Amino acid sequence: MNVLKQGRKLFGKWIEIPATKYYLSQDRKVKVGDISLKIPVGVFHPTLFLSTLFLLEFVDSQQIENLRILELGAGSGLLSIAMAKRGATVTASDISEKACAAVQENGLINHVSFEVIHSDLFDDFGERKFDIIVINPPYYPRNPQNEAEKAWFCGENFDYFQKLFVQLADYLSANGAAIMVLSEDCAIDEISRFAKDADYDWKQIAQKKRRVEMNYLFEITKKKLG
């Protein structure tokens, strides 16, 4: 199965279900543990899919107090809020202006503060370093047609990942790591090849299945000299 058909398989499986389409067609309010979220139409919903909740389990298992952490592609801001509540110094970013506004509002609702940056990957970051960067990326190989689709589609030639791995190393601290979640229905081998070709170490650190969806966590670090 080629990667384009592979990406459409899962996208069609979940997003094209009438009940899911209806649910996503309206602004929603959800609660995850003690975190309350408003999720506008067009912002990635963190509880309908395993990926964000899997990343949440990971960060909840780590000692993150006082660490500098970036949620790259923050969507609703669930992870940023959870990490800020546990004492991390958090930055949240998204390419979507609507998502950035939602993150700001959800931070206020949950009485936490963090920096929010509207940026295409790291274009508007200036000079910053992070100990952990958590990434729930768009990974289906199709060109997005609007802002909302940028949460799902990475470009026909995996443009998102090609740009990510050019920029990422400059924003990791000396011992920093990116933690990326990917689904079994995306082109993991292709994405990992971009990382390895850009001289990163790539290691699977966890996997989790919910219903028919298997997700994996990967740790991405700068290759050590020698």
Q: The CATH number of the domain where 194 resides is what?
A: 3.40.50.150
Q: Residue 155 pLDDT more than 60?
A: yes
Specify the pLDDT at position 122.
98
Specify the pLDDT at position 92.
98
Residue ranges in 66-222 assigned as alpha helix (H): 78-85, 97-109, 159-167, 188-197
Q: What is the mean pLDDT of residues 55-70?
A: 96
Specify the pLDDT at position 27.
81
Q: What is the mean pLDDT of residues 120-127?
A: 95
Residue with tokens 């508007």: 124
Specify the pLDDT at position 13.
54
Can you read off the two tokens belonging to residue 112?
A: 């936490």
Q: What is the mean pLDDT of residues 118-131?
A: 96
Residue ranges in the chain assigned as alpha helix (H): 3-15, 18-24, 50-60, 78-85, 97-109, 159-167, 188-197
Q: Residue 19 pLDDT more than 60?
A: no
Backbone φ, ψ for residue 217 (5° rounding): -105, 135
Q: Residue 181 pLDDT more than 70?
A: yes
Q: What is the mean pLDDT of residues 187-200?
A: 96
State how many domains the chain has: 1
Query: If pLDDT is split at 50, 70 and 90, which confidence band does 73 have?
Result: very high
How far, in Å, CA of 101 to CA of 66, rounded? 25
Residue 68, domain extent? 3-222
Q: Tens digits of per-residue pLDDT, 196-223? A: 999 999 999 999 987 777 999 999 999 8
Specify the pLDDT at position 45.
87
Q: Residue 8 pLDDT more than 50?
A: no
Q: What is the mean pLDDT of residues 48-76?
A: 95
Q: What is the mean pLDDT of residues 46-57?
A: 91
How far, in Å, CA of 201 to CA of 219, rounded? 8
